[in-house]
Each structure stands twice: as C-alpha cells, then as structure tokens.
Amino acid sequence: MPVTRSTGLLALGGIALAALLAVIGHLEVNDDLNPWALTISDFAVSDRGGVIDVAMVVLALATVALLYGLRHASPSRPRSGRTAELLLGAWVGGLLLAAAVPTNEPGTAMTTAAYLHRYASVIAFLALPVAGWLLARRPDLTPAARTLRALVLLSLALAAAMIWSAYPGDRMLIGLAERLLILAEVAVLVTVATSLTRPARGRVTPTRAA
C-alpha cells in the first residue's frame, strides 16, 4: 500500500476515533452542562483527565499522520505548501497545549493557565483554515480544492460568530458556534485525508524498480 494512501487512512481512522471520544466525553460529564452555552473546554475541565482531552490528542496525532502523507505525496513543495505544513503544525501544537493546560471552571475568574488554554485554542482555530486554503493550491489536491475553499470560508464565518459571541454577544450560543466551527475544521482534515487515499492527477507515486 502506498505511503500516502496508508497515512490518509490512518488520519481518517484517528479523526473518527477522536470524534467518538468527544461524543463519549459529552455523555460522561456528570454536571448539568448546556452544550449550546458552554464550550468543549468547559466540558473537559469538569472531567479533567477525561476522554475529551484524549480526543484532542488523538486528533493532533491524526494530523501528524496527515502531514507525513502530504510531504510524501509531494516532496518538492512550493513556499505556500511549506507554509501550509507549518500552519498544520501550529494546529497540532495548539491542540496539544489546550489538552495539557486546563481552562477555568465555568463562572470562575480566568487564571494564567486559562488564558494560555484560550490562546492556544485561538491559534489552532485560525491556523487550520489558512492551511486548508493554501493546501487547495496543491496540484494533487485539485479535485478537492473547491470543497476545501468552501469549508475554509465556512470555518472563518463560524470563527467570526464565535468571536462575536465571546465578546459583544455575552457568550450567547458560544458552545453551538464552537462545535459547528470544529466540525467545519475537522471536515477540512477529512477532505485532505480522503484525497490522499485515492490517486490524484499531479501526484508523484513512487514505484518499485523492476
């Protein structure tokens, strides 16, 4: 099995596992928490060490597999391709930091750790859409370019909605906005991973010498 296809499948498996763990994490929270009014981080901090944190780590590792596949699919990359990989690395780092550093309990004052968690999340949420836009320029991802750009625009619109909710909107439906944003951004990863699992025009696939 070519490396690009196997890493694409590995990334898809990791994304699916992360999604399953996130759902379980929501179901296992004992507190009476409202998912539309509270963020995923609020759910995670109510059950520190729970499966939501594990889901974030799994999603980060799935992205690492995706990065490996992208590099193998196109060893000679333009500057935009390398920038996209750096941004995916920022997404990975943001996820891992947000998983390791807890936010504050809902309704309590923000701590230094909570601010670190918040800005790590912001970096991750902004890095991935820009990476997706740049990846849409790759010749081997041309069949998925329109889908990627549409998902990126949707992600940016949802990010703007979340920012509005967090500040002038008095956190109205911030949990809903964040969950829709995460779904859109994960869909970017799924689109790229799916493209790696099938041959695409412009991709150089190593062949074994006779």
CB 66 within 8 A of CB 131: no
Cβ(134)–Cβ(87) under 8 Å?
yes
Is 66 exposed, middle or buried, given 0-12, 13-18 or 19+ CB atoms closer than 10 A?
buried
Q: Would you say 36 and 173 are in contact if contact means Cβ atoms under 8 Å apart?
A: yes
Q: What is the residue-averaged pLDDT of the chain?
A: 87
Q: Compute the average pLDDT of residues 109-136.
A: 93
SS3 at position 173: coil
Contacts of 53 (CB under 8 A, 6+ apart): 44, 99, 100
Q: Could you report the per-residue pLDDT of 132-167, keeping only the tens digit for each? A: 999 999 988 999 999 999 999 999 999 999 999 988
Tell me the whole-structure pTM to 2 decimals. Answer: 0.88
Q: Does residue 187 sit in helix, strand or coil?
A: helix
C-alpha closest to that of 56 among 85, 25, 10: 25
Distances (CA, A) of 188 to 128, 141, 148, 153, 166: 8, 12, 6, 11, 24
Per-residue model confidence as pLDDT tens digits over 37-71: 888 888 777 765 578 889 999 999 999 999 999 98
Residue pLDDT, tens place only, 158-201: 999 999 998 888 888 899 999 999 999 999 999 999 999 976 54
CA distances from 105 to 18, 80, 98, 151 (A): 23, 40, 14, 32
Determine phi and psi for 111, rounding to 5 degrees: -105, 175
